[in-house]
Amino acid sequence: MPDSETAIRHDIADVLHIRRARRRTITIVGLAVVIVGLLTTLLLLVKTVTVNIAPARALDNSAIVSTKGFSIALGRNVHFFGSIEVEAVADGFYPETIAMDRATESPVNVTLQPRPGIISIELNFLQDESQSEYSLLANNTQLYEVAPETIELPAGRHELRVQGPHEYDSTQFVEVVGYGEKQVVSFAALPRGSFSIRVLPDTADIRLNGTSIGSGEVQQSVVAKSHVLEFVLEGYVSKRLPFAVDANTHLDLGTVNLASAPGTINFVSQPTSASIFIDGRFVGSTPAQLEFHKSSVQVELRKSNYHTSTSTVQILPGETVTREFELEEIRFDVKVSAHPLASLVLNDKSFGSTPQTVNVTAGDVLVVSKEGYASQSLTIAPEEHQERELNFELVDMAQHSFDEAPELVRVQDSIRLKKFPSAKFRLLVPGYLMEDDRQRVREFEITRPFYFGVHEIRRKEYAKYDTSLKTTTADENLPITDISWLDSVKFCNWLSESEGLDPAYAIGSGGSVSVDLGSNGYRLPTEAEWELITYYHFAEEKVVGPFVWGEGTKPPSQVGNLAGFETRSALRSYIDDYGDSHRELAPVGSYRRNFNGIHDLVGNAAEWVFDYFGSTYEGWDQPLIDPMGPSRGIDRIVKGANFQTTKLHEAAINFRRTVGFKDEAVGFRVARWFL
């Protein structure tokens, strides 16, 4: 019984043990399931961000430290649930704070900035002095008024300069490692010497390298190097004395004597540019600033047309004085007269009508003027050179304009005209040259100056107007011939318009022609102008004779292109005992010009003039003024001989003829009134 009970008890105990073990297992399994569930949930909620740290030197010893919020940093990975802040830290670098939240994308890149190097400044030479008496200049930019014991500098090469009492000045270069590492820069004592100096006068200030160190006599210790002493005293000329002291030596610089400073005078004059003479010697012109080592000077100021100013100027050493001089003009009287009476203006101020006596000085400008006459002006010369009586002969505007005009003008490159003044002409023509054998007088006056063609118009010149005319190099310089009087007039109008001048002629629809006496355009010469140029010697103011060559019925050899013996094979008659170089037309200007500088007035081509052909004796034995021939007529006059002329009377002044329309031996030249 006991044994069975015992067995039952054991069975019951086993059953209970099994039940307890089962319940324990179930509990453990349940807990494990719960824990796994929790871990799974946590893994689903956690945020992981990788942090990349640069540079490589920082990465090698870096760490990530949580500073705000819950996070776990494992290596470069940060695990967290919400918003946090961490710091990336590394030895030798400044930390960098990183803010993260669940929106932060991985990875996060961070570049740490290196810390500067820590430089200890050691002044090994200090004894009684304090480091506070020295300054430090880093890289010539950063100044420490008091040299610190340590400074921070970024990695790289740096210049450190320490300056202090007794001219201490030393520079060191240091290669800074940086990254917070400590380095030491030591400044040693500089080698020193001494000097002594004395200055006279002993009140002069002695300055060493720009700093005052006393007066009279000084002895001082200095750094062994080059220095500059300066000695300054008012009223004396300052001096500079460069010197150098060697280490552990004394230099006696002796005694410096200062010279008295010069006195200075500022010279000012009215007017300026006056010559300055000191004690009789020229030294410059006003305004000027001059120095003198004298107590006084004798001054003279001289200027042309002004009285000389003399004075004595006192001078103190180092003093600057200004002396002003008012120079007085040299004035004198001048008597002015004019013919005809005219208005007188002096320096733009009217003085009425001449004659007048006016008070003037050199440089004054006198102007004498009268309506219708050219004004004349005169600048007054210095007194010693100026005439005291001035007489002006006024010239009318026309004559003045004539005088100012060019002697020769060139038109269309090759047409040249020469200027001629007004003139009177009177010639006694012998009876043998007149048809009625009666001696007659040719007398007229040309009142208007004019330009007259030097040559007859060439074919090449006419071809510019008449483009249908063809020329060659062989004939382009021959005179244009075989053209009508009207053709020559039209050419003149064309030439005027080409040169921008008013045409001289008005040509009607029926070929009628009238002349504009006020025109400045080109035109044909009048018969009177042609005769004046041909027979009147302007330079000598005389008539040469009834022929171009003067008196006599025998022309000189080569006087012009006439029908001489060179034409005997072509013509039935010719001029006996005369010859020239051309059987036909010659290039213009082939024969010598006449006494007025005009070519081909006898021979080559005869020439159209403006005048109508009238009575043989019309215009003779009576004085005429600016004659232009009859007011009406049929034919126009041709003047001068030509290359076919065999009768000498055709070269005489009285000869005039006409042609029906045009002729192979008739050309023209141009003229123009001078306006």
pLDDT of residue 2: 60
Q: Are strands 666-667 and 606-612 parallel, antiparallel or unpaired?
A: parallel
pLDDT of residue 81: 87
Q: Label residue 478 by pLDDT band (50, 70, 90).
A: very high
Which three-class secondary structure state does DSSP give residue 565? helix
User: Could you give the CA distance from residue 202 to residue 521 in angstroms, rounded to a whole number?
Assistant: 95
Q: Is 607 exposed, middle or buried (0-12, 13-18, 19+ CB in 10 A)?
A: buried
How many helices and strands, by DSSP H and E, does the chain display? 6, 52
The answer to whether residue 166 scores a pLDDT higher than 80 is: no
Show the CA angle centred on residue 347, arms to residues 341 and 351, nearest 5°.
40
- The predicted-structure confidence for 121-165, as pLDDT tens digits, reads as follows 988 888 767 788 889 999 998 889 888 989 999 999 999 999 888
pLDDT average, residue stretch 171-188 = 91
**Nearest residue to 643 (alpha-carbon basis) of 597, 595, 575:** 575
pLDDT of residue 151: 92
From 218-222, 229-233, 348-352, 544-548, the region with the lowest mean pLDDT: 544-548
Mean pLDDT of the chain: 89
- The predicted-structure confidence for 336-379, as pLDDT tens digits, reads as follows 999 999 999 999 999 999 999 999 988 889 999 999 888 999 99
pLDDT of residue 43: 62
Q: Label residue 42 by pLDDT band (50, 70, 90).
A: low
> What is the helix (H) or strand (E) element at residue 469, kind and residue range?
none
b/e sequence 186-221, b meaning 16+ C-beta within 10 Å: ebeebebbebebbbeeeebbbbbeeeeeebeebebe
From 6-15, 239-248, 527-536, 557-566, the region with the lowest mean pLDDT: 6-15
User: Could you give the CA distance from residue 519 to residue 450 in angstroms, rounded to a whole number?
Assistant: 12
pLDDT of residue 621: 78
DSSP state letters, 295-363: SEEEEEEE-TTB--EEEEEE--TT-EEEEEEEPPB--EEEEEEEES--EEEETTEEEEESSEEEEE-TT
From 302-311, 494-503, 617-626, the region with the lowest mean pLDDT: 617-626
The answer to whether residue 41 scores a pLDDT higher than 60 is: no
- The predicted-structure confidence for 262-299, as pLDDT tens digits, reads as follows 888 999 999 999 999 999 899 999 999 998 888 889 99
- The answer to whether the predicted template modeling score (pTM) of the entire model surpasses 0.75 is no
**Nearest residue to 302 (alpha-carbon basis) of 321, 337, 332, 278:** 278
> Comparing 13 with 342, which gets the higher pLDDT?
342
DSSP state letters, 598-621: ---SSBSSEEEEEEEP--TTTT-S
Cα 151 off chain centre by: 58
